[in-house]
């Protein structure tokens, strides 16, 4: 692995060295390195690119890292990663993709991640998308996340894209069985002429299932963001989605929430707010001695923290 | 310390000029000066003009003899002016510790932040990591607003109605904060207030009515006339 790839790895997964526990590092479309443990197995798919990750029932306090780094201009990478999480497991999964494009051609990574989370299992899934490089070639990522939560399962998903991705369409769909809980936190910042589309669709199928989808974003320059969120309450359930965006410069942000209650006991809420940084916030920080630009930076940092 | 010379602020409203502040001249050399007067008299506007948030239509402002009229908010803050808002501002994602650190101009340890929060009567540990947003009550936000001023420790501290939105119980302990500040401060405190207990500890009271200074003096000089003015019906007066 070269220095550029190592830097990308640090950005997306906070990895300075080989991670502990199970991991699968993919570099420029090929397997770079892999480690499995007694409880976590990683198997290369035979019918299509990608891997199957098997986590044994009852596995606790273990983690899986599956970062992808691309430093080759013009590479078009597509992977299918399936996570099979056994009953009662409690694990952390860290994914993420970094593209460094110095060339003229478009580099692209599309990761399709499917989660099959067993009964009463608990997972935290963290993914970070990052782009760098001075080339004119575009950096494109289209992650798709398909979530199936069995009875009593819990999943927390943190997805972040702060820098350097020219175009992204992020699709997340989820089906929840009885008593399952899904928490999604998305953070996005776009600048230049970037485009980011987020598309959440959650089916609350089981009794007492609940979902909370929170998106915070900042759109700068001439970038464009679209936020779609669909929550279907098909039983006695609770759903909440929130889209909170700061718009700056000549950017554009649209939010399209959709709530459907198919059951009298479904309780669904959506909140959306788009606006520029409030003048009084800037003034307050300026009275503390910050310049307007420094105040703006503090407000954005806090908002996306 | 602070000198205002012939400050006026006139706005256009429905095609007509409306005088908010009318030729105000003031010198603040004391440690603790209160500005009081009826609502709409121009008190908050005056504070904003001192902090640089509003530019006066006419007049000059001097801080320690230096003309600061042309300086913006940031420059005045760096020269040593702090301003506690009447309505504290909410910030999503910025914690109490963050904002107190920003005010202090350096990263503060949890211990240092706790010390300052305790001074304004907040049980510190519960607050350091809370976000400065509407999950905090009005009284809590006002105390944090005051904590920022303490963290800055500048030569001039402006407070715009620190008692507004605070319940009586909290106010009693807040008074102690100001009494202590009055003893400890090296610079000057300029406080807009309607509260007798705050006016009581002021060395000088300025009464602002309809954009003009109607009285300046000690509480013994100002109070008797203040009570007279309070019984005056403004509506009748204008007819």
Please give the tally of structural domains in chain B.
Answer: 1
> What digits encode the pLDDT tens for the residues B89-115?
999 999 999 999 999 999 888 899 998
**Distance in Å, alpha carbon of B138 to nearest chain A alpha carbon:** 17
Contact A272, A255 (CB under 8 A): yes
The C-alpha R_g of chain A, in whole angstroms, comes to: 20
Averaged pLDDT, B71-85: 96
Average pLDDT across each block of 10 residues of chain A; the chain has 305 residues. List them in order. Answer: 79 75 91 94 95 97 92 89 97 90 85 96 93 83 95 96 88 98 96 94 98 96 96 98 95 96 97 94 97 95 90
Phi first, then psi: what are they for B218, rounded to 5°? -75, 170
Among residues A159, A203, A198, the alpha carbon closest in space to that of A180 is found at A203
CATH of the domain at B28: 3.40.50.300
Please give the residue of chain A at the shortest CA–CA distance from B157.
A287
Query: Is residue B236's pLDDT more than 60?
Result: no
What is residue A172's predicted lDDT score, i.e. its pLDDT? 97
Q: Coil, helix or strand for A150?
A: coil
Size of interface A-B (CB pairs under 8 A): 60
Please give the residue of chain A at the shortest CA–CA distance from B87.
A280
What is residue B28's predicted lDDT score, i.e. its pLDDT? 93
Q: Give the predicted TM-score (pTM) of the model.
A: 0.85
What is residue A261's predicted lDDT score, i.e. its pLDDT? 98
The Cα–Cα gap between B82 and B94 comes to: 20
Domain coordinates in residue numbering, chain A:
3-277
Beta bridge partners of A231: A202, A259
Among residues A116, A109, A107, the alpha carbon closest in space to that of A95 is found at A109
Looking from the CA of B32 toward its CB, the CA atoms found within 13 Å total 17
**DSSP per-residue codes, B172-228:** HHHHHHHHHHHHH-SSEEEEE---HHHHHT-SEEEEEETTEEEEEE-HHHHHHHHHH
Q: Which of B55, B87, B92, B107 to mutate to test the interface with A (most CBs of A within 10 A)?
A: B92
What is residue B231's predicted lDDT score, i.e. its pLDDT? 57
Averaged pLDDT, B53-79: 96
Contact B222, B207 (CB under 8 A): yes
Beta bridge partners of B35: B192, B206
Continuous H helices in B59-109: 73-79, 96-104
What is residue B237's predicted lDDT score, i.e. its pLDDT? 47
CB spacing of A289 vs B74 below 8 angstroms: yes
Averaged pLDDT, B146-159: 93
Among residues B239, B227, B234, the alpha carbon closest in space to that of B36 is found at B227
Cβ of residue B152 closer than 8 Å to a chain A Cβ: yes
Phi first, then psi: what are they for B171, rounded to 5°? -60, -40
Query: Is residue B239's pLDDT more than 50?
Result: no
Residue B230's alpha-carbon distances to B39, B74, B221, in angstroms, are 11, 38, 15
> What digits encode the pLDDT tens for the residues B212-227?
999 999 988 888 887 7
Cβ of residue B98 closer than 8 Å to a chain A Cβ: yes
Query: Is residue B57's pLDDT more than 80?
Result: yes
The continuous run of DSSP H or E covering A139 comes out as strand A139-141
Phi first, then psi: what are they for B165, rounded to 5°? 80, 10
Contact A12, A130 (CB under 8 A): yes
CB spacing of B72 vs A284 below 8 angstroms: no
Domain that holds residue B30: 2-238
The Cα–Cα gap between A172 and A112 comes to: 10
Query: Is residue B158's pLDDT more than 60?
Result: yes
What does pLDDT average to over chain B? Answer: 89
Cβ of residue B54 closer than 8 Å to a chain A Cβ: no
Query: Is residue B197's pLDDT more than 60?
Result: yes
What is residue A39's predicted lDDT score, i.e. its pLDDT? 96
Cβ of residue A285 closer than 8 Å to a chain B Cβ: yes
**Distance in Å, alpha carbon of B89 to nearest chain A alpha carbon:** 6
What is residue B169's predicted lDDT score, i.e. its pLDDT? 72
């Amino acid at each position: 692995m070269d220095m550029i790839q190592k830097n990308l790895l640090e950005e997306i997964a906070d990895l300075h060295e080989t991670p502990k526990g199970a991991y699968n590092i993919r570099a420029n479309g090929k397997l770079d390195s892999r480690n499995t443990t007694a409880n976590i197995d990683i198997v290369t798919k035979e019918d299509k690119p990608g891997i199957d990750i098997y986590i044994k029932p009852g596995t606790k306090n273990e983690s899986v890292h599956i970062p992808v780094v691309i430093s080759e201009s013009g590479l078009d990478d597509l992977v299918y990663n399936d996570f099979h999480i056994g009953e009662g497991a409690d694990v952390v999964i860290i994914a993420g993709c970094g593209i460094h494009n110095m060339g003229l051609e478009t580099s692209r990574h599309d990761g399709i991640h499917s989660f099959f989370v067993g009964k009463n299992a608990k997972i935290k899934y963290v993914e970070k998308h990052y782009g760098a490089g001075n080339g004119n070639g575009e950096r494109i990522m289209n992650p798709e996340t398909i979530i199936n939560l069995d009875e009593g399962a819990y999943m927390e998903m943190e997805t972040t894209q702060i820098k350097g991705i020219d175009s992204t369409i992020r699709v997340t769909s989820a089906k929840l069985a009885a008593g399952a809980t899904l928490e999604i936190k998305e953070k996005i910042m776009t600048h230049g002429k970037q485009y980011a589309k987020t598309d959440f669709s959650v089916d609350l199928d089981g009794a007492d299932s609940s979902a909370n989808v929170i998106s915070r974003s900042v759109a700068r320059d001439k970038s464009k963001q679209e936020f779609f969120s669909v929550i279907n309450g098909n039983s006695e359930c609770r759903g909440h989605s929130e889209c909170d965006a700061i718009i700056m410069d000549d950017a554009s942000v649209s939010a399209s929430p959709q709530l459907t209650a198919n059951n009298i006991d479904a309780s669904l809420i959506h909140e959306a707010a788009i606006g520029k940084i409030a003048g009084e916030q800037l003034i307050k920080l300026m009275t503390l001695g910050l310049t307007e630009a420094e105040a703006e930076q503090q407000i954005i940092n806090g908002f996306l923290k | 310390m602070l000198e205002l010379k012939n400050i006026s602020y006139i706005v256009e409203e429905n095609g007509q000029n409306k005088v908010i502040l009318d030729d105000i001249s003031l010198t603040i050399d004391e440690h603790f000066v209160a500005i009081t007067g009826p609502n709409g008299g121009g008190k908050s506007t005056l504070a904003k003009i001192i902090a640089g948030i509003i530019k006066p239509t006419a007049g000059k402002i001097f801080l320690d003899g230096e003309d600061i009229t042309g300086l913006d908010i940031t420059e005045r803050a760096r020269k040593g002016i702090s301003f506690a808002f009447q309505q504290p501002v909410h910030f999503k994602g910025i914690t109490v510790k963050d904002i107190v650190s920003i005010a202090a101009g350096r990263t503060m340890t949890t211990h240092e932040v706790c010390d300052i929060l305790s001074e304004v009567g907040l049980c510190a540990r519960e607050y350091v990591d809370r976000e400065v947003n509407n999950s905090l009550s009005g009284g809590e936000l006002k105390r944090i607003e005051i904590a920022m001023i303490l963290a800055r420790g500048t030569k001039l501290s402006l407070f715009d109605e620190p008692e507004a939105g605070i319940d009586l119980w909290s106010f009693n302990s807040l008074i102690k904060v100001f009494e202590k500040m009055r003893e400890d401060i090296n610079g000057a405190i300029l406080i807009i207030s309607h509260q007798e207990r705050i006016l009581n500890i002021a060395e000088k009271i300025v009464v602002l009515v309809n954009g003009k200074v109607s009285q300046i003096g000690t509480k013994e000089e100002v109070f008797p006339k203040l009570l007279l003015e309070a019984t005056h019906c403004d509506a009748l007066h204008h007819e």
